[in-house]
Amino acid sequence: MSTVAAARAWLAQDPDPVTRAELAEVIDQAESGDAAAIADLDDRFDGRLAFGTAGLRGRLGAGSNRMNRVLVGQAAAGFAAYLREKAASGSVPTVVIGYDGRRNSDVFARDSAELFAGAGLRAVLLPRLLPTPVLAFAVRHLGAAAGVMVTASHNPPDDNGYKVYLGGADEGSQIVSPADGEIAAHIQRVADAGDLGALPRSEAYEIADESVIEAYIAATATVAPAPAGAAGMNWVYTAMHGVGYETLVRILETAGYPLPVVVEAQIEPDGRFPTVAFPNPEEPGAMDLAFETARAAGAEFLLANDPDADRLAVAVPDPAADGGWRRLTGNDVGLLLGWRAAERASGGSLACSLVSSPGLQTVAEHYGLDFHATLTGFKWISRAPGLVYGFEEALGYLVNPGTVRDKDGISAAIAMLGMIAEAREQGETLADVIARFHDTFGAFASGQVSIRLDDVAVIGTIMATLRAQAPASIGGVAVERIEDLLDGADGTPPSDVLRLWLTDGSRVIVRPSGTEPKLKVYLDVRGDTPADAAARVAALDVGARALLASAQA
C-alpha cells in the first residue's frame, strides 16, 4: 500500500475532526507534489508507534507513527482482547483508566473507557485528571485486572502516551515481557482490520468514587507523619504545569506539614507547558522559575514534581552554584531515601536499576539487607524480591511498596519532608544530612552525558561501533573490563547496555533511552571526599563525550 493510500485508509476511520483536517491537508499537499508534505506524510506512516514495556509514547498528530485517537482506540481494543483472553472463565475483568493534564489525555481516557466497556469489561474511569501514582494505587485498591494511565510523564509538550499496568499477581506493576508482546499482537490484529468505527463502544463505564483518592491520600500520609521539626518549615514547590499539587496538598494537611510557597506560574495543570520548553526537572532551564521563587522566599529547600507527579526533584541552597541553588541528582536523592528506608527496615531488600548509583548496595550491606540491581525501569525494580525501597537515577523513587508498585513522586516528597523535618529537630539542614551520608558510606558521585538524535538508527550505529572498537581508557583511566548486557548478565534479561569498569573502581554505562531518541552514558565514582568524587566525575564526563564523538564520527 502506498503512503497516500495508507493515509486515506487512516483518514476514513479517524473520529477526531482536528487530526482529520490536519491529515487531509497534508494529503492534498503531497498529491500536488509538495516535497515537504511528502516527507511529512512518509514520517507519519513509515512505521507505527511500537507498543512495548513502556506502553505507547510519541508525538501528538495524525498517522500510525503519532499519538492520536485511532492509535489509542486500537490499543484499547487490543488490550481488552488480551484481558478477556487471560480472564478466568465466566469472570469479567476490571480495568481502571487514569489521565493527566496533557493535551488529549482526557479524550484518550474516555475513548479507552468506552472501548473497554464495549468489549464487555468493567471499566472504571478516575473522576478527574490525577497523578500517575494514584492510578497505580487504584489498580490494587480496586482489585482490578489492569490499569491504563494516559500520560507522557516528563516528555516534551507535544507528546502523549499510554502506560499499562497489570493487577493480580503483578500487584499493579507496569507490564513486562511476555505480556507486552502478547498485547502488541492483539493490537496489531485490530489495526490490520482497519475499521476503528466497527468496534463496539459503550458509555456504561463507571466513574471511580472519591474514596479511591481518599484512600491513596491516607496511605501516603502514613509514609512520614510530620514530626515536631516540621513546624515553621519554609519550602517551595512546583508542579511543573502538572497534576501533582491538588493531591499533594491534601496529603500535607493530613500528615501535618506546613504548605509550601508555590511557583504560581507552574502550579495549575496546563498541557501547553508555557513556561518550560521541556517539562522535565532534569532539563536545563526547567527549574529556573522554581529557583527564582526559592530565592525570593528565602526557602530552606525546594521540591518539584514532573507533570504526572511520578518523579521528584530536590534542590538546596548552594552559594557555589549558579544562582545560589543546586538540584540534587536522582542518585543523591535516591541514596538519601534508601538510607532512610534501610534504617527503618526489619528485613527485605533495596533495589535500583543497574544504571543507578552503586552506593545503594553499600547502604544495603551496612544494614544487613539484600540488594538487587535490575534492568532500567520500575517495571523491573517493583518486582525485586522482598522490596522495601527502590529507585532509579531518573528522579524515580518507590518508597511505599505496600501501596504503590511504581515510582511515586508524591510519596517520595512526603518521605523527603520527613527526613528534613527530623534533621531540623537536631539543628541540621538537608546539606548536613548529605554530609553525614558521605561520612558514613563514602563520597559517591554520579554524572550523565546524553545526546538527542533525530535519526534513531544512529544510536544503533554508535552502540555497534562501541562493541566493535572497545575503548582502552576513558578520561585517562584504563578500562579494566567490559560487560555486554546484550547477552544477559546478573540474571537480567538481555538488554542493549554496555557496562565498563575502570581500574580506579569507576563505572561507565552506555545505553539507548527507552522512552526518548537519546543515547545515555551514566558515570559513577566513589571518591575519598566529595571534592575528590566531583573531580573524578568531571574527568569521566570529558572522556565520555570524547568517546561518543569518536563513535559517532
Quote the pLDDT of residue 487: 76
Question: Is the sign of the CA dihedral 434, 439, 442, 445 positive or negative?
Answer: positive
Could you tell me whether strands 159-166 and 206-207 are parallel, antiparallel, or unpaired per DSSP bridges?
unpaired
Query: For 24-38, 109-123, 301-315, which range has the lowest pLDDT when averaged over its residues?
Result: 24-38
Give the H or E element holding residue 379: helix 378-381
Could you tell me whether strands 301-305 and 235-238 are parallel, antiparallel, or unpaired per DSSP bridges?
parallel
How many percent of the chain have pLDDT more than 90? 88
- pLDDT exceeds cutoff 80 at 276: yes
Distance CA 331, CA 282 (A): 12
Domain boundaries, the chain: 1-38, 47-195, 215-440, 442-552
Mean pLDDT of the 220-228 span: 98
Q: Could you tell me if 500 and 507 are in contact, meaning their C-beta atoms sit under 8 angstroms apart?
A: yes
Q: Could you tell me if 226 and 249 are in contact, meaning their C-beta atoms sit under 8 angstroms apart?
A: no
| DSSP code, position 67 | B
Q: What is the pLDDT of residues 529-548, one digit of tens each?
A: 999 999 999 999 999 999 88
- pLDDT exceeds cutoff 80 at 493: no
Distance CA 304, CA 298 (A): 17
Residue 362 C-alpha cell reads as: 553499600
Query: What is the separation of C-alpha 61 from the centre of its chain, rounded to a whole number of angstroms?
Result: 22
pLDDT range class, residue 54, cuts 50, 70, 90 = confident
- Can you give the three-state secondary structure of 462-514, one letter per residue? HHHHHHHCCCCEECCEEEEEEEEHHHCECCECCCCCEEEEECCCCEEEEEECC
Could you tell me whether strands 301-305 and 312-317 are parallel, antiparallel, or unpaired per DSSP bridges?
antiparallel
Q: Could you tell me if 307 and 99 are in contact, meaning their C-beta atoms sit under 8 angstroms apart?
A: no
Q: Could you tell me if 68 and 30 are in contact, meaning their C-beta atoms sit under 8 angstroms apart?
A: no
Fold match, 215-440 / 442-552: no
Residue 15 C-alpha cell reads as: 473520529
Give the H or E element holding residue 106: helix 105-118
- pLDDT exceeds cutoff 90 at 274: yes
Put simply, whether the predicted model's pTM sits higher than 0.95 gets the answer no
Highest mean pLDDT among 122-136, 437-451, 494-508: 122-136
Quote the pLDDT of residue 515: 64
Quote the pLDDT of residue 488: 66
Give catalytic residues, as residue numbers. 153
- pLDDT exceeds cutoff 70 at 393: yes
Quote the pLDDT of residue 490: 62
Q: Please check whether the domain covering 215-440 is classified as CATH 3.40.120.10.
A: yes
Distance CA 94, CA 117 (A): 10
Quote the pLDDT of residue 549: 86
Beta-bridge partners for 57: 161
Mean pLDDT of the 320-349 span: 96
CATH architecture of 442-552: 2-Layer Sandwich (3.30)
Mean pLDDT of the 432-443 span: 95
Distance CA 521, CA 512 (A): 9
Distance CA 368, CA 508 (A): 27
- pLDDT exceeds cutoff 90 at 132: yes
The candidate with the shortest Cα–Cα distance to 129, out of 270, 250, 274, is 270
Write down the mean pLDDT value for the chain. Answer: 94
How many angstroms separate the Cα of 207 from the Cα of each of 129, 192, 199? 12, 32, 22
Mean pLDDT of the 206-229 span: 98
Q: Could you tell me the CATH superfamily of domain 47-195?
A: Alpha-D-Glucose-1,6-Bisphosphate, subunit A, domain 3 (3.40.120.10)
Compute the C-alpha angle 259/398/419, nearest 5°: 45
Residue 160 C-alpha cell reads as: 502523549
- pLDDT exceeds cutoff 80 at 53: no
pLDDT range class, residue 363, cuts 50, 70, 90 = very high
Distance CA 516, CA 366 (A): 36
How many angstroms separate the Cα of 321 from the Cα of each of 138, 210, 283, 327, 534? 41, 44, 16, 9, 14
Residue 518 C-alpha cell reads as: 537519546
SS3 of residue 257 by DSSP: coil
Mean pLDDT of the 466-478 span: 91
Query: What is the separation of C-alpha 219 from the centre of its chain, rounded to a whole number of angstroms?
Result: 22
DSSP codes joined into one string, 144-160? -SEEEEE--TTS-TTEE
Quote the pLDDT of residue 120: 97
Compute the C-alpha angle 469/472/477, nearest 5°: 145
| DSSP code, position 52 | B
- pLDDT exceeds cutoff 70 at 1: no
Query: For the chain, what's the residue count?
Result: 553
